[in-house]
Amino acid sequence: MYRKTVYRKTAKLFVIAAPSGAGKTTLVKALTARRPELRFSISYTTRRKRRNEVHGVDYLFVDVDEFRRLKERGALLESAEVFDNLYGTSRTQVQAHLDAGHPVILEIDWQGAAQVREAMPECVSVFVLPPSVEELEHRLRSRRTDTDAVIERRLKDALSDMSHWDEFDHVIVNDRLEQAVADLESVLAGTGTSSAVSNPEVREAVAQILARPGER
């Protein structure tokens, strides 16, 4: 009972966004292992289900008409088009987790993050960056499943996504996983001043990451 009261007081909404190749999924998985009280919202998407994915676990897979209906009746806290598919967060799911006293993590893109910040200004938003553009390219290329054209597009999209880092409360550089998880845990605990976007050291580190090789 007492424990539940404590959760209720600290329940919060966290938004995590990252370009593909930043290693967000690995980071969030490692975090969940250490913080079992966290809850994830299962998004709606019109994207086709991949072979290893399960409806209701990875996503709620819906067609475009169903997605539009959900949006029209206000069921989505945010929604966005990402890589030609529609994605959206269920308002009732998020609210139910928060009401039950659990911190909630939304793994969404920067456009969705902007909408959540608008709708729920008390949320804490985090942008995950790769250690360098070269490393990002390397990570994207080592995914053997993609064609060169897909990789080029993902790289271009990733660079454009990364230009939105400044809109977030925190930036975490996913260089060493252990450190990145620790940084993320600090943000969840409300003590993550070293990753705050307002921190000049963070701004300098981001400038280095985003600089083209010739500018460094």
Residues 111-150 interacting with ligand 5GP (rule: CB under 6 A):
111-112
Cα–Cα distance for residue pair 7/3, rounded to 1 Å: 6
Q: Collapsing DSSP states into helix, strand and coil, what is residue 48?
A: coil
User: Which of 111, 186 has the CB closer to ligand 5GP?
Assistant: 111
User: Which of 67, 206 has the CB closer to ligand 5GP?
Assistant: 67
Q: What is the nearest approach in angstroms of ligand 5GP to the Cβ of residue 62?
A: 12
Pick from 168, 134, 137, 142: nearest CA to 152: 137
Cα–Cα distance for residue pair 184/126, rounded to 1 Å: 8
Find out whether 117 and 110 touch, Cβ atoms under 8 Å. no
Cα–Cα distance for residue pair 164/114, rounded to 1 Å: 10
User: Which of 43, 174 has the CB closer to ligand 5GP?
Assistant: 43
Q: Which stretch binds ligand 5GP (CB under 6 A): 61-69, 80-88, 127-135, 180-188?
A: 80-88
Task: Write the DSSP assignment of 157-170 as a string of letters.
Answer: HHHHHHTTGGGSSE
Residues 12-71 interacting with ligand 5GP (rule: CB under 6 A):
43, 47
Q: Please tell me whether residue 80 binds ligand 5GP under the rule CB under 6 A.
A: yes
Binding positions for ligand 5GP, rule: CB under 6 A: 43, 47, 78, 80, 82-83, 87-89, 107-109, 111-112
